[in-house]
Amino acid sequence: MSDNTFSPRNRAKMPRNRIVFYALCILATLALIAGVISVLVSGKVGVVYNRGDIIVEDEGRKWTIHDVDVTPGIYQIDIDYHSSADVLTEVKVRDGSWRDLLTDDPALHSFQTSRSFKVWAKSTCRKLYVEMNSDEAFEVNEVSVVTAANSNVYRISQMVFVYLLVVGILAAFLLFREIIRANSRAVIGIAVITLISSVGLFVTYIFPGHDINFHLLRVDGLADALSAGNFPDRVQTNWCYDWGYSVSAMYGDTTLLIASVLRLLGFPLVTSYKVFIFAVNLGTAIISYKVFEKIGGSRSTAMVVAFLYTCAPYRLCCIYLRAAVGEFTAMTFLPLVLLIIKYIYYDDIASEDYGKKLLIPALSLSMIIQTHILTCVMLSIFVVLFAVIQFRRTFRRKTLIYIGKIILFTTLISLWFVIPLLRFYHEPMELQNNMEWKYDFPYYGVTFSELFAQRAGSGTYFNFAFNTSLADRMPLMLGNGFLVLIVAALFFVKKVKVTVTHIAIGILAVLAVFMTTIYFPYNQIHSVFAGLGKFIGSVNIPYRYITIAIVFLSIISLFAIRKLRESAGKTIVYILVAASVLVCFDQSMSVIYTAVYSGSASNYYDGANLDPNNLIGYEYLYDRNDLEVTTTDNIPNAENAVITAVYRDRNSFDITVSQTGNDAYVEAPVFAYPGYTATSKDTGEKLEIVHGSNNKVRVNLEQGFAGTVQIRYKDLPIWNIAEAVSVLTLAFLILRPYIIQFITKKKKVNT
């Protein structure tokens, strides 16, 4: 068959495609420029209503501002008020539909005197008004409605995203058609997996998952840190009514950058969160497919197992019901651990290339560390057990050196996160108390009935397995799609040469499943080996081990399909694979629609409605803290000193103070986490910081002090060193192949 690639017809076709592509790109670019200009020349709103301008009704229980002219964009509303009871706010469209405006309508709390929030006006919104209601009379001093600082950025970003989408589609059809056609099955397969796992996102709301408030606060806190130029951040300042919370130091933020950058660009919080989940689903589909392809060698088999893994019911439960962001994000990188095991144990040890694959192992393990520490705990248990079972392969000199390299480079890449983590871990936090052994821990496990159910009840929350009907519990299925393939392989495959690898994977898979249940003897293990029991129970809830079980079931399913192809007919294999996919699809949809049709819904356009004191387990809060104090104490105070002026920017303070007596100090309403410093603005002298009342930052004043105390949060020098080491290590691993190639060429030239 002749090759017509370079025929005159094809040579003429390619330039024509390029000409069409460039012409359409120029038109799209001109349209983008016109759109950007129209945004930049559009007017801004800046309206201030003083007390006398606001309409008061119902004996002071209702205050309203009317007819604020607006154009498409984001508007910031600031309300200065005084009330003895919470006040309900409603921002409404004048002579239009509620769909024309996106707003959270946050409450005005009685313990505050000012409130600031944002609303999003669509192109159909022309006028809006703000209505404030309470059961008791209250006072409003001022209401301002101004165009938000990032309003134009938001509108331009929308245009840029549409522009990039159009250019991408044009490039796909006109420039890369042949490449896409050659990989069409992979592209379509990954797209289908991503869409199925993301179908719950295509609604106008999000389900109020168990940890949703916590993680949305993290997204907004990171966005706020980025806007202030603080990354990596350690203490997010938007928590605990601006007292701060060390969530960034203890819980890696790297993967949340997607959502946080969108927030900086002005996108609503719910949109940013949904885009983040979509990106995680896409990444999970791509990574799992590529890993299973490298391990199994078959693209079609890899796609089937990638579908079973990405759409596993427990993973979707983590997304839509539990809102367990760290857990489902870590599952994106877990298949790469299988690839690392392949590199270490099953690559040719006699090859010159053995032990040289370092970037993917180190980077993937580092991402799991930065994403979810508890997943690292679970993973370490099974990796160590696998290494022990495979001791003959483990204790080879080259293998031990390779493992050592991976551990070393993983540590170095993670150093920027691990060093501050260890420093904060040794603070007297609630985390230490939460890690104490709890004898009711096993009761949070699941029953076999739940693990192997095809469909769960309509429950969306979790409680003890011993005291509730399964109809009231959230779905915690193992994934029957895996089981269809595994059981079919046991039935059809008659001859299998059992190896140590088969034994290791089988034992660990059964153990992982067993550890998810109420039947595993956690308390008995703890009574005999307290340290071991405490370690395996540090994951807080036993059903988290389903994550590890799914990884093992995926690799078993991969090899089950391979063996079925060798032992059963092609038709039987197709039927079994189709049955597995359909069973998984049915389970996946049942989990997603349990959430979607549960009757509960939330919309967080702005972070104003998030509860900053909703800390879930309070792990990173200092021991013996009173959270209620944070709602009322937000002004610096002093003892034996007089404060004459205060300037605050997030967690930075300039406090002008004069000493009036002995043992004088000044306190700032922020938790005294490691990293706070205090200096005299006038002399530059460093002042002593200790934990004050309710663990506030307390600055001790020297005798006769009079001046301005500057309180700042700064990274410790060792943290900056760790950051530099991590960046240099990652750069080295990326450039390493090119460095080796350069050195090799130079040696050849010299020779």
> In the numeric block, which tokens belong to residue 328?
């489902």
Cβ–Cβ under 8 Å, residues 606 and 268: yes
380 or 432: which leads in pLDDT: 380
Average pLDDT over residues 73-92: 96
| Euclidean distance between CA atoms 524 and 478, whole angstroms | 25
Judged against a pLDDT cut of 50, whether residue 150 lies above it is answered with: yes
Neighbours of 207 (CB within 10 A): 22
My answer on whether 462 and 562 are in the same domain is yes
Q: For residue 545, give the 3-state DSSP assignment.
A: helix
Report pLDDT digits (tens) over 693-741. Answer: 999 999 999 989 999 999 999 999 999 999 999 999 999 999 998 888 8
> Which whole number is the average pLDDT over 238-251?
95
Q: Is residue 344 in some structural domain?
A: yes
- CATH number of domain containing 682: 2.60.40
Mean predicted confidence (pLDDT) in 162-176 = 91
Residue 642 CA to residue 334 CA, distance in Å, equals: 56
Same domain, 160 and 203: no
Q: How many distinct structural domains can be found in the chain? A: 4
User: What is the percent of the chain where pLDDT is above 70?
Assistant: 97
Residue 611, in any domain of the structure: no
Note the pLDDT of residue 5: 46
Report pLDDT for 14.
52
Q: Please check whether residue 126 is in contact with residue 70, taking contact to mean a CB–CB distance below 8 angstroms.
A: yes
Q: How confident is the model at residue 577 (pLDDT cuts 50, 70, 90)?
A: very high
Partnered with residue 709 across adjacent β-strands are 655, 680
Kindly state whether residue 699 falls inside one of the protein's structural domains.
yes
What pLDDT is recorded for position 2?
A: 46
Clarify whether residues 250 and 116 are in a common domain: no
Residue 289 in this model has a pLDDT that exceeds 80: yes
Q: Are residues 409 and 465 both part of a single domain? A: yes
Alpha-carbon distance of 271 to 279, in angstroms, equals 12
pLDDT tens track for 526-558? 999 999 999 999 998 999 999 999 999 999 999
- Residues 201, 176 share a domain: no
Confidence of residue 467 (pLDDT cuts 50, 70, 90): low
Q: State residue 196's pLDDT score.
A: 97
In this structure, are 544 and 468 located in the same domain?
yes
What is the percent of the chain with per-residue pLDDT over 90, rounded to a whole number? 78
Helix (H) or strand (E) holding 668: strand 665-671
Question: What is the C-alpha radius of gyration for the chain, rounded to an integer number of angstroms?
Answer: 30
N- to C-terminal Cα distance for the chain? 45
Question: What local confidence, expressed as pLDDT, does residue 581 receive?
Answer: 97
- Residue 174 structural domain: 8-41+155-182
User: The pTM is what?
Assistant: 0.94
Question: What integer is the mean pLDDT of 352-378?
Answer: 95
Q: How far apart are CA 168 and CA 162, in angstroms?
A: 10
Give me the CATH number covering residue 127.
Answer: 2.60.120.260
What confidence tier does 480 reach under pLDDT thresholds 50, 70, 90?
very high
Task: Give me the chain's average pLDDT, please.
Answer: 92
Q: Is residue 729 part of a domain?
A: no
- At 4 the pLDDT is 52
Residue 711: which H helix or E strand, with range? strand 706-713
CA distance 698 to 178: 66
Residues 365 and 294 in one domain: yes
At 616 the pLDDT is 85
Confidence band for 12, pLDDT divided at 50, 70 and 90: very low
**pLDDT average, residue stretch 80-104:** 90
* Rounded distance between C-alpha atoms, residue 464 and residue 441, angstroms: 10
The answer to whether residues 668 and 551 belong to one domain is: no
